[in-house]
Structure 1
Amino acid sequence: MRGRQFRQFGSTVMARLTAPTAPRPTRLAVVADPHVSTRATDSPKQFEKTASLFKSTIMDINSRDVNAVLSVGDLTKDGAPWDFDRVDDLLAELDAPFFAVPGNHDVPKTFDDHRSASRGRFIDHYTPGTLPYQIEVGGVDIFALDSAWTADGDLRDSHDGRITDDQLAWLTDRIETADCPLVFTHHNLPPTARQAEASGVASGIDMSGVPIMRNGDEVMETLAAAGVPLVVTGHIHLPGVAHYDSPTVGDGTVTEVTSPATCTFPQAYLLLDIDSRGTTVRYVPIASERESLDAYHARLGGTDVDRGQAALGAIRTAQFPLHEEWVPTQSRPQQPPTSPRSRSPSVDN
C-alpha cells in the first residue's frame, strides 16, 4: 500500500426506494466482505490485495461526509487474530463511527486450522458492547442482527447462517418505537437467494453453493410483520436489490439490498442517502480499472460460484439502476454528520 495515491472514486445510483425515509438527511456507508488477510495468497479472492482494497475503501469513505459506517460482515478471511489486528490498524484511519455484524468468516469454526478470535473480541471492537444492538444514526434507527453465531453451536461446522428466535423477539419488541427502521445482517435472505439462483439458471451457472440463511423465510415474515422496509446484507459478493411480499402480512413488503464485496469483483461499497424523499442507494467502486480486470479474471479461474459471481457482477453493474421507485426533482439536502447513540439490547444469545 505504500506509495498508493488516494483519489476519490465516482458513484452510480444503484436504486431509489420510497422507504425508509428520515426527517433529516442521513448518509450511511455500507462495507461488505473485506476478507482482510495478511498471510494467504493464490486464491480467486486475491487475499494478498484485501488489505490494500480495504484501505482504499476507508480513504474514500473519509471524503464522503458520512454519518456512520456499517459493515455487514466477513471483515477477515477466517477470523485469525492477526487478521483482526490488521483490520483494527486500518480502521484507525476511519473518521466516521464504525459498527459491524460478524460474517461466517469472522467466527470460530470446527474446520479452522488456527485458533480464531473470540466472538467477545468482535463485540468489544465493532459493536456498542452487545449483539444484537440498536443505534440511532442521524434520523435512522438501525438494528444489527447476528446471523453467523448461535449459542448452541449449530453453525460451527458450516458457513450457513441463522438468526435466533431470541433475536427476532428482541427485534419485534424494540422496533415498535422506531420511526425509521433499517436492519442489517450478514447472510442473504430468500429474496436475494432466489434471485441469484434464477440468474444462475438463466446464465447456465450453478449458484447453489452459496451458504444459506437456514431460517430465511421466518426472518422475512418477522421483518414484514414488524414493518421493516429495508434489510441490508452482504455475503454473496454482489450488488443487488430484491423484494419480499409477505403472504400473511398485508402491505408487508421488505426490500433486501445486498452490498458488493470490497475484495472481489466488482470491488465496491454502498452509500445510503436517506431523507424525506426515500432512500438512494449509490454504488462506489474502489478499484482501478486494472485491479477490476485482474479481479474479474481471478474469479473466472475459480469455482462455479466464483464464475457466477463474476458474470452476475458484470451484468448487474451494466444494468444500473437496478430498481427505481421515484425520480429526484431536486438536489439532496445537506446535513452535517451527527454522532450515533447506542441503545443496549436486553437479550443474550
Structure 2
Amino acid sequence: MRTAAGSAVGPVFARLASPRPDTPTRLFVAADAHVSPTASGTWKVFHRSETRLRTAVDVANDLAVDACVFVGDLTRDGHEREYAAADAVLSELSVPFVAVPGNHDVPKRWDDYVAPSAAAFGERYGFGQYPFHVTVGGLDLLCLDTASAGGRLTETHEGEVSAATLDWLRRRVDEADHPVVAMHHMLFHPRDHVGSFPDGDFYRLRNHAPLREALTDRGDVLTLSGHIHLPSTTARDGVRELVAPSTCSFPPSGLLLESGPQGTTVRLVPLAGGQGMTEAYIRADAGNAHGQGIAAHADDGLFTVLPQVDERVDVVGADVPGALRWR
C-alpha cells in the first residue's frame, strides 16, 4: 500500500459533486473499531480490533490528512479497559483527531460498570459537549451525539438526536459554507443504500425524519456515519450520506475524503491484506444475520463494482483500477 500524500491508497469509492471547498482538505474517516483487549471472534473479529485501529492510525499519519474523524463505537462496550486500549493506539496519531460517540460507547442499564457519558466522551475525544462545530481546512464539521440523547437511551442501542441539537443544527448548517455532519447512527435506512438488509440486528435513529428535514432545508450537505459496518452511500433531497466501514469487521477499511474546488473524491482504504480480508469475510459469512447480510452484498458486487456513485462523470484520472479483494 502506498501512503505518501497525494498517492493512491485504494480504489475510488465515490466521486461527489460536493463538498467543494476552495481550500483542498483531506479527511480520514474511520468507524466501529469496537476495541477490546480481551474479546475474540464473532463476525466483528474482536481479536483484531486493536491491530486494525493501529493500522488506521498509521494510514492517517502516513497520509498526513488534515484530520482523522471517527464516527462512533470506538469500544466494544464502553468499559474503561477498552477505552484505555483505544487511547494507547490513538496516542500514536500525529494528525488532529475528533470523534462522536456510538451506541456501544455510552452507558447502558445492563452494564455492571459505568461507561463514560457522551459528555465525557466529548471532553476526551472532541471539543467539549455535543454538538459542536470545528473547521477542518475548508470544511465545516458539525459533530452530533446520536448515541445518548442526553442519557435517555440507556435501555436501547437505537439512536436519537435531542431537540436542542436539532435547533442548533438548523442554525449552524445554514451558516456553514461547506457543512459535513458527523454522527454514528445512519440518517437513511440501509435499504435506501443497498436494497435488502436484515432488520434483526439493526438499531435505527428514532427521529431521523426531523433531522433529515433540517438538512434538506439547506441542501448540499454531506453526512458521515457508521453503525452498520457496511461502506455505502446514497442521496435524498440534496443530502448525501456516506457510511464508513468498520475498521475490524468485513471489510476492515477506512475512507479517505479528498475535497477541493472540483468536488470530493472518496477512496476505500483497506486496513488488512488478503489474509486478513479473507478471515473477516469468513467470519461475516458464518456470523449472525447482520454479518451474513454484509457478506451477501459483497458477493453481489458491492465492493467490486466501484465507484458506487460518480457525480463527476467528466473527471479523467489515473485512479486505482479494480476493487476490494478478499479471495
Render the CA deviation track for 1:218-260: whole Å, top value 9, x for unaligned.
2111111133421111010011011112xxxxxxx11111011
Partner AA of 2:266 in structure 1? V
Name 1:325's counterpart in structure 2.
311
* Residue number among 177, 196, 200 corresponding to 1:199 in the alignment: 196
TM-score (norm 1): 0.85
Q: 1:297 aligns with which of 269, 282, 285?
A: 282
Q: Structure 2 stretches of 5 or more lacking a match?
A: 320-327
Q: Deviations over 1:121-180 (max 9, x none)?
A: 3122101122111001111111001100112x4311111101112101101112232111
Aligned to 1:281: 266
1:59 positional shift: 0.6
Q: Distance in 1 between matches of 2:112 and 2:10?
A: 39
Aligned-residue CA RMSD (Å): 1.9
Whole-angstrom CA distance in 2 between matches of 1:242 and 1:85 = 35
Q: Distance in 1 between matches of 2:2 and 2:66?
A: 21
In structure 2, distance between residues paired with 1:140 and 1:331: 26
Distance 1:50 1:317 in 2: 22
Give the distance between the partners of 2:43 and 2:189, measured in 1 at CA.
26
Q: 1: CA distance between counterparts of 2:318 and 2:305?
A: 23
Provide Cα deviations, 1:189-224, integer angstroms capped at 9, x if missing partner.
22545334x233xxxxx3443111111122111111
Q: Match of 1:188, SS? A: coil
Task: Show the counterpart of 2:135.
Answer: 136
Residue identity matched to 1:126: Y
Identity %: 36
Gaps of 5+ in 1: 1-5, 201-205, 246-252, 333-349
Which amino acid letter does the alignment assign opposite residue 108 of structure 2?
K
Q: 2:229 aligned with 1:237, yes or no?
A: yes
Secondary structure of the 1:189 match is coil
Asked if 1:270 corresponds to 2:267, the answer is no
Which residue pairs with 1:213 in the alignment? Answer: 205
The number of residues matched between the two structures is: 313
| Corresponding residue number in structure 2 for 1:37 | 36
Work out which of the residue numbers 173, 181, 188 in structure 2 matches 1:175. 173
Write the distance in 1 (CA, Å) between the matches of 2:43 and 2:317: 42
State which of 137, 158, 161 in structure 2 corresponds to 1:160: 158
Is the contact made by 2:16 and 2:265 (CA closer than 8 Å) also made in structure 1? yes
8 A Cα contact 2:71 2:102, kept in partner:
yes
How far does residue 114 in structure 1 lie from its aligned partner after superposition?
A: 3.0
Q: Distance in 2 between matches of 1:193 and 1:106?
A: 25
For residues 169 and 41 of structure 2, the distance between their equivalents in structure 1, rounded to whole angstroms, comes to 41
